[in-house]
Structure 1
Amino acid sequence: MKLGREIAEGGRFVRQPNRFTARIEADGEYPPEAGRYQLYASYACPWAHRSLIVRELLGLQDVVGVTIVDPIRDEKGWRVPGGDPVTGMEYLSELYLATDPDYQGRYTVPCVWDVTTKRLVTNDYPQITLTLETAFAPWHAEGAPDLYPAGLREEIDALNTVIFDGFNNGVYKAGFATSQEAYDDAVTTVFATLDLLEERLAGRPYLHGDALTESDVRLYPTLARFDAVYHSHFKCAIRRLTDYPVLWAYARRLYAIPAFRDTTDFDQIKRHYFITQTNINPSQIVPQGPEIDWTAA
């Protein structure tokens, strides 16, 4: 994995901005329509994982198509085994360059392709789930949860910022740091955020009370990868997820929901991180374990 310009002064990891940020919205250039958009995602990638969870939670499988890329990237980036039946491409980079021939950043998932205009609409992963929750509301399955209720949006957005800065992206800032100071700052923030979340979840089933929301969806993929990958591979080794009794019970409660469990592939997760990120693991050896029972009561 080549980080290039994402390593800033002082050895700190600074994630690249999202290049494609158009919105799918009514009366816009890209209106929501059933069958018009294709989601490109990976079971290995935490940013893509959240979009797969929301798509299933809301019952949008027949409304927004999905193409799953191979968990092992090479120098050309994410690959679709056997080719993509929708676009015919073999590598995700082809869709990026078809939309912007001058694009030079990393080719990231998730991203959304418009079958009608044959362009990438967005790779703005925070917005993709919000779009599924709002613009595609007319197609939500009966009884689907309201993951972004109007009355809670300000509170959800505020907590999402804390989760992203301190945990979702925080583990990457620790793992990709190239100086002791940058690592120390990042890993301290990671565990301060975990401590905060452990306290917040005491006495409540979900982050905002009794109902599942967008915040829970954003937190889960990082929790799911924590003991298997981030604890060792990213050196977030102060404590394990299983050392947090409330967070560990919460993570298993989410895993028991089919949309979370069915999109969690621990084999693909481990192979992706340990084989692809050769800057951290040049031997590409995939470790055995840890043995964790996600189905425990």
Structure 2
Amino acid sequence: MNIKIKTEKSNVTAVMEFVLLGFSDTPNIQGILFGIFLVIYLTILMCNSIIILITKIDSALQTPMYFFLSNFSFLEICYVTVTIPRMLMDLLSQKGNISLLACAAQMCFVLIFGGSECLLLTVMAYDRYVAICNPLHYTVVMNQKVCIQMVTASWVSAVPIVIGQTWNVFSLPFCGSNTINHFFCDLPPVLKLACGDTFVSEIVVCIVAVVFITVPFLLIVASYVKIISNILKLSSARSKAKAFSTCSSHLIVVILFYGTASITYLRPKTNQSEGIGKLISLFYTVLIPTLNPIIYTLRNKDIMAALKKLLTKSLQ
């Protein structure tokens, strides 16, 4: 049921509750979708928890690279927990009602964790740059204090900007339809429901997207240009293969995450199709977080060795 209030000065009704349509266009398979997304969510929790565990207990993984990876895994858990449990609840109840405050909170946390992920991926690229391009000074440059500061900055930097952006969006009047054709309160579909002139808010969205998507991505590209240039200078084919293998997992994750996020937040509003937008959002909120731990474990010999060691101990 739509909950609205009327203002005294006009006949405009202000929306006080939204309805997330989610996957209501496929009512016959909602039970199947619930099962699929539940398995995916539990898989994400389990795989990332295992990565966090083995990077903490295995002495061979007590390096900056795996310190950043464990933080990235924890961030992934937070990121999916903001969206998937709510989506599961809506699939189970077949109701998508969400209050204005809950919608704002969900959007805020999604953007905070998403922005933090962009910054942390940049930090991880810098770590690989120092390791490959300046190996003799690696332990000095990437000492424990610096690593903690970089991770803290990745987590904290997005908070004030995202809170301001969320406030800017939800300070707009919502006086028309309260139906969001999405499975969570994402910026583009919510902003589409706002009344009046949304030009300033759209400019703010683009500026924030440039700060947290474009700039970090360009820094990552610059890091990898230097990394690849240095790798190609190596005389040993084995050294080249090892250097490429340590970077390839991170590079795959960067391409997948930044590719889908940039399509969502940097494309013009007029080109946004609700169906395509929902599908792309499904990629970077559900599918990519599912693939990330698989990419990092299957393509990393140290992680696989630590995992085998853990399994051997647990079976004894």
**As a proportion of its length, which structure holds more helix?**
2
Larger radius of gyration: 2
TM-score (norm 2): 0.27
TM-score, length of structure 1 as denominator length? 0.28
